[in-house]
Structures are given as C-alpha cells and as structure tokens.
Amino acid sequence: MASSSISVFAIGDFLAQLILYILPSRISDRVRENTSPQTVLVLRDGSTKRANDGNNNEPRMTLFEGVFATLLFDLALFGTSNPIINFIIRAFTTIQNSWDRPFQNETEAESKIFEFCTRLDIRRHPWMWHRPAGEYGSLNDFFSRTYAPEYFPRLGDGRVVSPACCKISTYDDDEGLRRLLIKGCEYDVSKIGLPDDENNLLLEAYRSNRVFVGYLGPKDYHRVHSPISGKCTHCRLEGADSNSASVKFFGGKFNLLNDNKRLVVVLEEESSTVGGGESNGNDDVVVEVQEPPLRVALVIVGGVGVNTITYDKDMVGRSIGKGQEISTFRAGGSAFAMFTSKRLDIVPALSRAAEEGICVEANVGETLAN
C-alpha cells in the first residue's frame, strides 16, 4: 500500500518539475518563491524559524501544490469566476473527496497515514493523536484528528487566544488588512456575513479595531476553538454552495472573505461594569457605567477542496468556554479572519512580527491579546 501512495506522490512531483521546466521564468520563479520555506516567529518561545537554516527548512507547500496553487489562485491565469476555473475547482474537490474512502483494514490505515505524515512532515514520534494510526477509518478521519489529552496544547491565561494551530498575521484595523494584505479584489467587510446592530455601530467597531488572520496548513491540527469565553450570539454558514478558492493567497484576485465557503461565529464576553453605585462620602453617587462587551467575530474560511465544515448548529445562545472546540475542517486548506470590537493589547511577539513583516506560528490556545 505504501508503495502505491509513494508512486502517486512521485508522479505528482515529476509532473510539477516538468511543468516548471516549460513555464516562463517569471512564472516558475513565482512557484519557487511560493514553495520556499517561510520565516516565522514562534509564539511559544520567541524563536525565529528562518528559511534554509539547515534545521527548520519547512516549505509552505509541496511542489505539486505550489504549481497548482500559483497558476490557478495566485496568478489567476484562468480567471476567478468562469466555467473553466469553476470546473477545475469542482474537479479538485471531487479528488479531495476520495479522502473519505474507508480503509480496508488497520494495516492499510497505518501505511497510508504514516506515508501522509512523512509527506507533510507531521510528527510521528511521539504519536500525539487521540487514536493509533491503524484505528482511523479514512484519510479524512485522520485529517480532522484531535490531540491525545496528554499532548493537547496548554490554554493561555490571556483574554484572547489563538483559535487554531496556524500561522497568524495581525493588522491594526480593517483598513490595514485591506491595504497590506487584501489588495487584488473588491473585498468589503460588510459582505462577509457579520451581523450588525440597527445603528451600524457594531460593524463600524469591527472596521476600527484589530484583525487577526490565520492560515492552517495541510500538516496542522484542523479543529477550531473559541478564542474567548462568552456567549455565542451568531452562527451561520455563508457561501455554502461556493466554489472556494485556495486560502494560501489572501492577497490575490480571489475574494476569499466574501466568496469562499465560510462559517461566521460571533462570541460576546459578559458585560463589564465600571463603578459600584455607592456614595463617595460627599453625598455624590458613583454611577454604574455599563461598557459594551467585547465581541469577537470569527470567520472560518474553507479553501479549495473543503467540502465540509462541521459545527454545532445549535450553539447560538450558549455559553462557550475559552478554548472550547467549535468547528472542524475535513480535507483541503483552511484559514480564519478574527475581527474584534475593542482595542486590545497584543502580545509582544505579535507586535515584533508585524514590524518585521513576518507571520507568527501559534498553537491553539496560546495567548494573542489581553
């Protein structure tokens, strides 16, 4: 079984090399740039993983993925919405759906999953996942795996934590997001599906405050958790029938936050009160001031090949604990954008990364802001 998997990967690599050879240098150089290792700041220890340092030479995607994604989604050589590109996306999604094919037995499961781990550089020693490799029913079953309890990342003490294991970038506000990242399409925050109030104050708060953008690579843990403790006030799947583009290139021509399949979840902290309503000794009364609660709008975006975002449709009105699981992706790449309604103090690592123009590698539950 393993040799069959290896031959498929080998064929993909051979085709990618062949395509690179015949492509114009401008395009082939772009592919190599997109597949080269990325420099990131590691949130948990403050270290920096630098490209080609001999130790952490981690590519952003395989060469075959790089050719496919660069031509179709980064450079958008076939356009963004027409019968050709829509057919290609649907065909790729069909291929991804083959990950649901059940394994015939435990031997096949172990062989296929170990090959998958080797290909994507997923750690096997120690085995951190909740079931032995041979007990997963399909490749998608493993893709949506969770941690064994003893290996689950520790939940941070901060007010806002990372909702996923991912590479994170942060922006001062929605205008910063648009200016620095989303430059190639007609993105509009009002068309994401975020609920507003009757005075349009909530949407304006999302526009004016910090935005976090995270990308979950194929090797990452693909479950999303609540970034704060609070009540769920909104949960809705948008673009359910969309032909989702790759989320590897937020800055391209595809309007990922407006057009891709996405789950919009809004969480609201308990209201905070300033003042106690007691006399101050001069017959003056300290008036209680009710501050608007912090709201976090989590936009969970499915990429090309993602045919399923699993979530609890009845979570609205429930109290959700910080770090509690709220959704799962099955197959394909994924990302999130997280909008906040108040000014937050981000941790120093995020500030440093923003200044240096690099991403932060975060585990689920690590503190992002206070």
- Domain spans, the chain: 2-38+57-143, 155-369
Confidence class for position 138, pLDDT limits 50, 70, 90:
very high
Tell me what the pLDDT averaged over the chain comes to.
Answer: 85
- Supply the pLDDT for residue 331: 66
211-241 burial, b if ≥16 CB within 10 A, otherwise e? bbbbbbbbebbbbbbbbbbbbbebbebbbee
Quick check: 189 pLDDT over 50? yes
pLDDT for residue 322: 97
Say yes or no to pLDDT of 259 above 80. yes
Whether 92 has a pLDDT exceeding 50, the answer reads yes
Q: What is the pLDDT of residue 89?
A: 78
Predicted pLDDT of residue 132: 97
| pLDDT of 281 over the 60 cut | no
How large is the average pLDDT for residues 40-59? 69
**What pLDDT shows up at residue 53?**
46
Note the pLDDT tens digit of each residue in 288-309: 667 789 999 999 998 776 657 8
